[in-house]
């Protein structure tokens, strides 16, 4: 994220709605105080006759635009959304699932962070998934998630899986969209931070994780005085095994890069399939040290007018990795920078200025680069890049011997869009949309094959500090258009103040028309984390289960587990100091309802929810032993622990599953 603009933001359209909210609040206070009515000149909304639509519009001071936005987004009870956003939860380490156009929050998927309702981190199996993200043996129960990526088939979202990165610890996670649960967390063995991830190749064979802050690869100390020699950047290619629903670390590898700070990446598609593009900043290789009179990073890393877009031939890289042309760092295969240069895997292309976003157009033919300190977007042509590589049209090499493609040879166009361009999305009409951080606006501009080639069409203010934007199916080979969501940081004056830490603001825009017809439809406050990125998929592409397919289902295996307790299997067996429990849940009881052990016993406790109704999730809260399960219909799980605390513990169902839910309990007695 770039530096924040310190200039005060213009308060665009200090809304009548805000005034109305204040008026309503004022009215409420007045009513409480049993005083006289609303402020002078303002008609009290609550006094409007029920059913009097015109009266409500007048009382709330709604404009025709407001009414259009309301009817375009209002979703009556029972009606479902057309699109689904999968939003990074930012610092929450979670994923938010939001319907569009209603902007209703449908789910919060626990990923890197324990989450009690889903029992995430409160069962042995989910703890094991979280432990996949342990860093040097330390449990890290939070994350700074940035970029969710939906799995793709043929360049289209296929609705099967979702990946997301943790910038802070260089981790990636895999979520299965059959049950919206996290299945795998991996810690990058060679890097301590990431940013250019996750992004997928058009058939999701590779999940890409680009680095961010350079450091010696692996876990190794080196002095900052040896920055150029010892520090490195990286990009990791995680091999996704769709059948297994997991990344296969044994078939994954990384590419060593110069110690520039790699930023966002994108995968080529169609004509550019097999290529990966990552931009970078700090090609100055500033090492900070303001406290010693050196230039601070923000100045040191922004001196040059150009940094380097990294153009990576993934097909060649894969062949080198398969041929063993790698060295092992922390046991992980890494293609060395020398090998990459020698084999022509890596080329650079100058990109202006303080680059952030790189986005491949839907046809795969062009790359849109946004430099935070350049008011233009820069469009490169993929064929031009290839031709330049083939013809050796280079303007030189960098200090590590990487050939630098001639800027003009690759340039298609520069379009002036406004201040602080960050990220670009595409629609189905030939328009591109670029977020403008400093302008607090979204620019609609026309691609070369769009309605008004290479021209800025409209800038619409958003509130405020816009980072990423997302259009419907916006990263696919066939974007849908229609809706765009601006992900704004700190909503400032949009909502009631909830203290000095302000919510984020997702703003839904209508981009269904042409020309200057973009409109703002809806504001959705996000009261946790800073989401960074989101992807928007057509709802019809998602086919999640409503209950697990069979009784005794293990979500870790995504299969029925042999030996899971079913109806009639309930029992308790003791073998020496081991007590094994086979339990079922069905509304409204656990069977068995009494589990008695001795202090020091080893307890193995299997539980299956044998209910098959959609609204029959049961919780299993076991106080004193830090377990809290969410057992969806059909789900089975196993707890294994030492009964090290004596006492009487009431385990109970923590979901209000039936009229006799309070009776859904049992006693765990630990004698001793």
631 near ligand CUA, rule: CB under 6 A:
no
Residue 1: contacted member of ligand CUA, ligand CUK, none (CB under 5 to 8 Å, by partner type): ligand CUK
Q: Which does 195 bind (CB under 5 to 8 A by kind): ligand CUK, ligand CUA, none?
A: ligand CUK
Residues that bind ligand CUK (CB under 6 A): 1, 146-147, 195, 264, 356, 422-423, 467-468, 532-533
Looking at the Cβ atoms of 164 and 653, the one nearer to ligand CUA is 653
183 binds, among ligand CUA, ligand CUK, none (CB under 5 to 8 A by kind): none
| CA distances in angstroms from 347 to 261, 279, 303, 323, listed in the order given | 16, 12, 22, 21
Contact region with ligand CUA (CB under 6 A), list: 42-50, 200-208, 225-233, 656-664: 656-664
Which of ligand CUA, ligand CUK, none lies near 664, with the C-beta cut-off 5 to 8 A by kind? Answer: ligand CUA
- Per-residue tokens: 267: 């995968």
| Paired strand residues for 582 | 571, 606
Q: Tell the smallest beta-carbon distance from residue 531 to ligand CUK (Å).
A: 9
Q: Nearest distance from residue 593's CB to ligand CUA, in Å?
A: 13
Q: In angstroms, how far is CA 233 from the centroid of its own chain?
A: 22
532 binds ligand CUA (CB under 6 A): no
Q: How far is the CB of 557 from ligand CUA (least distance, A)?
A: 24
Q: Output the residue with the shortest Cβ distance to ligand CUK.
A: 467
The distance of closest approach from Cβ of residue 215 to ligand CUK in the complex, given in angstroms and rounded to an integer, is 18
Least CB distance to ligand CUA at residue 620 (A): 9
Q: What is the per-residue binding string for ligand CUA in 569-588, x denoting contact by CB under 6 A?
A: ------------------x-
* Burial (CB count <10 Å: 0-12, 13-18, 19+), residue 252: buried
618 contacts ligand CUA (rule: CB under 6 A): yes
First to last CA, the chain: 56
* Residue 167 or 269 having the CB closest to ligand CUK: 167
| Stretch of residues binding ligand CUA (CB under 6 A), selected from 25-33, 271-279, 297-305, 652-660 | 652-660
Least Cβ distance, residue 587 to ligand CUA (angstroms):
5
* Residues with Cβ within 8 Å of residue 38, at least 6 apart in sequence: 23, 26, 27, 30, 44
CB of 588 to ligand CUK, least distance (A): 46
- Told to check if 655 binds ligand CUA by CB under 6 A, we report yes
Using the CB atoms, write b or e for 10-19: b if 16+ within 10 Å.
Answer: eeeeebebee
- Indicate the residue among 264 and 441 with the shorter CB distance to ligand CUK: 264
What Cα–Cα distance (Å) separates residue 563 from each residue in 222, 313, 569?
A: 52, 48, 9
Per partner kind, with CB cut-offs from 5 to 8 A, the member of ligand CUA, ligand CUK, none near residue 483 is none
479 binds, among ligand CUK, ligand CUA, none (CB under 5 to 8 A by kind): none
Locate 134 and state its tokens: 């342990």
Nearest 5°: the CA angle 273, 278, 283 is: 150
Residue 661 CB, nearest distance to ligand CUA (Å)?
3
Alpha-carbon separation of residue 95 from 275, 385, 502 (angstroms)? 28, 36, 19
**CB of residue 580 vs ligand CUA: minimum separation in angstroms?**
23
Min dist. Cβ of residue 481 to ligand CUK (A):
22
The option from ligand CUK, ligand CUA, none interacting with 661 (CB < 5 to 8 A, set by class) reads ligand CUA
Would you tell me how many other CB atoms lie within 10 Å of the CB of residue 577? 13
Look at residue 542 and give the partner it binds from ligand CUA, ligand CUK, none, a contact being a CB closer than 5 to 8 Å depending on partner kind.
none
Q: Look at residue 76 and give its three-state secondary structure.
A: coil
Binding partner of 74, given ligand CUK, ligand CUA, none, CB within 5-8 angstroms per partner class: none
Q: How many helices and strands, by DSSP H and E, does the chain display?
A: 10, 44
Please report the beta strands in 417-478, taking only residues with DSSP state E, as ranges in sequence order: 421-426, 431-436, 441-446, 456-461, 466-471
User: How is the beta sheet containing 411-416 ordered, strand by strand?
Assistant: 355-360, 366-371, 376-381, 411-416
What is the pairing mode between strands 504-511 and 394-397?
unpaired
Residue 665 sits in the site that holds ligand CUA (CB under 6 A): no
- Whichever of 52 and 615 has its CB closer to ligand CUA, that residue is 615
Closest CA to 527 of 180, 108, 83, 6: 108
Rounded CA-CA distance 194/191 in Å is 7
Our CB check for ligand CUA shows the closer of 63 and 612 to be 612
Taking CB within 5 to 8 Å according to partner kind, which of ligand CUA, ligand CUK, none is near residue 467? ligand CUK
Collapsed DSSP state (helix, strand, coil) of residue 14: coil
Shortest Å, Cβ 310 to ligand CUA: 53
Structure tokens at 638: 């196993």
* Shortest CB 551 distance to ligand CUK, Å: 42
Cα dist. 458→34, 360, 418, 434, 469 in Å?
A: 49, 21, 11, 11, 15
Q: Which is nearer to ligand CUK, 278 or 422 (CB)?
A: 422
φ, ψ of residue 17 in degrees (nearest 5): -65, -40
User: What's the min distance (Å) between Cβ of 297 and ligand CUK?
Assistant: 17
**657 contributes a contact to ligand CUA by CB under 6 A:** yes
Nearest-angstrom CA–CA distance, 281 and 422: 13
The stretch among 109-117, 354-362, 464-472, 657-665 that binds ligand CUA (CB under 6 A) is 657-665
Burial class (CB in 10 A: 0-12, 13-18, 19+), 398: middle
Backbone angles phi, psi at 32, to 5 degrees: -60, -40
HSE-up (13 A, CA, CB side) for residue 1: 20
Q: Which does 657 bind (CB under 5 to 8 A by kind): ligand CUA, ligand CUK, none?
A: ligand CUA
| Using rule CB under 6 A, residue 593 touches ligand CUA | no
Q: Of the two residues 532 and 606, which places its CB atom closer to ligand CUK in the complex?
A: 532
The binding site for ligand CUA (CB under 6 A) comprises 587, 618, 653, 655-657, 661, 664
């Amino acid at each position: 994220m770039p530096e924040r603009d310190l200039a005060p933001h213009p308060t665009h359209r200090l809304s009548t709605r805000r005034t109305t909210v204040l008026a309503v609040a004022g009215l409420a206070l007045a009513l409480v105080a049993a005083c006289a009515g609303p402020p002078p000149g303002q008609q009290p909304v609550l006094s409007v006759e029920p059913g009097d639509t015109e009266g409500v519009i007048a009382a709330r001071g709604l404009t025709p635009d407001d009414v259009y936005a309301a009817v375009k987004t209002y979703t009556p009870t029972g009606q479902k959304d057309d699109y689904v956003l999968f939003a990074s939860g930012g610092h929450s380490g979670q994923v938010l699932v939001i319907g569009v156009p209603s902007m209703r929050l449908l789910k919060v998927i626990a990923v890197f962070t324990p989450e009690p309702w889903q029992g995430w981190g409160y069962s042995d199996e989910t703890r094991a998934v979280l432990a996949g993200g342990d860093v040097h043996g330390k449990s890290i129960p939070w994350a700074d998630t940035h970029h969710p990526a939906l799995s793709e088939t043929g360049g289209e979202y296929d609705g099967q899986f979702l990946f997301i990165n943790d910038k802070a610890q260089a981790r990636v996670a895999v979520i299965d969209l059959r049950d919206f649960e996290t299945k795998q967390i991996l810690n990058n063995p060679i890097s301590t931070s990431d940013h250019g991830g996750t992004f997928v190749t058009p058939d999701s064979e590779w999940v890409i994780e680009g680095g961010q802050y350079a450091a010696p690869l692996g876990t190794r100390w080196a002095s900052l005085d040896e920055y150029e020699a010892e520090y490195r950047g990286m990009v990791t290619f995680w091999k996704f095994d769709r059948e297994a629903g997991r990344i296969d670390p044994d078939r994954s590898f990384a590419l060593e890069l110069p110690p520039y700070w790699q930023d966002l990446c994108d995968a080529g598609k169609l004509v550019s399939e097999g290529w990966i593009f990552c931009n970078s900043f700090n090609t100055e290789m500033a090492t900070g040290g303001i406290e010693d009179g050196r230039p601070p990073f923000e100045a040191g890393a922004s001196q040059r007018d150009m940094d380097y877009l990294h153009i990576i031939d993934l097909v060649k890289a894969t062949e080198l990795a398969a041929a063993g042309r790698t060295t092992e760092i922390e046991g992980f295969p890494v293609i060395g920078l020398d090998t990459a240069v020698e084999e022509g895997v890596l080329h650079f292309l100058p990109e202006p200025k303080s680059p952030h976003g790189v986005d491949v157009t839907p046809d795969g033919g062009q790359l849109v680069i946004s430099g935070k300190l350049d008011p233009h977007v820069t469009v490169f042509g993929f064929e031009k890049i290839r031709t330049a590589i083939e013809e050796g049209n280079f303007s030189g090499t960098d200090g590590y011997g990487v050939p630098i493609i001639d800027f003009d040879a690759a340039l298609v166009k520069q379009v002036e869009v406004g201040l602080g361009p960050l990220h670009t999305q595409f629609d189905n009409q030939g328009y591109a949309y670029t977020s403008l951080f400093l302008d607090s606006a979204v620019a609609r501009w026309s691609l070369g094959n769009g309605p008004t080639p290479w021209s800025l069409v409209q800038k619409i203010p958003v509130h405020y500090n816009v980072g990423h934007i997302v259009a419907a199916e916006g990263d696919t080979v066939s974007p849908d258009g229609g809706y765009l969501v601006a992900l704004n940081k700190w909503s400032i004056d949009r909502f009631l103040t909830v203290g000095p830490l302000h919510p984020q603001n997702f703003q839904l825009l209508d981009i269904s028309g042409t020309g200057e017809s973009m409109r703002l439809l809806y504001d959705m406050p996000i009261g946790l984390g800073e989401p960074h990125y989101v992807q928007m998929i057509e709802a019809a592409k998602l086919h999640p289960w409503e209950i697990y397919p069979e009784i005794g289902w293990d979500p870790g295996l995504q299969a029925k587990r042999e030996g899971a307790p079913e109806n009639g299997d309930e029992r308790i067996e003791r073998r020496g100091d081991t007590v094994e429990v086979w339990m079922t849940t069905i509304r409204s009881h656990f069977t068995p309802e009494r589990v008695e052990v001795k202090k020091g016993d080893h307890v193995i406790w299997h539980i299956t929810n044998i209910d098959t109704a959609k609204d029959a999730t049961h919780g299993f809260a076991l106080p004193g032993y830090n377990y809290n399960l969410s057992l969806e219909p059909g789900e089975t799980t196993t707890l294994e622990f030492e009964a090290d605390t004596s006492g009487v513990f009431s385990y109970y169902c923590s979901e209000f599953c039936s009229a006799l839910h309070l009776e859904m309990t049992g006693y765990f007695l630990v004698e001793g």
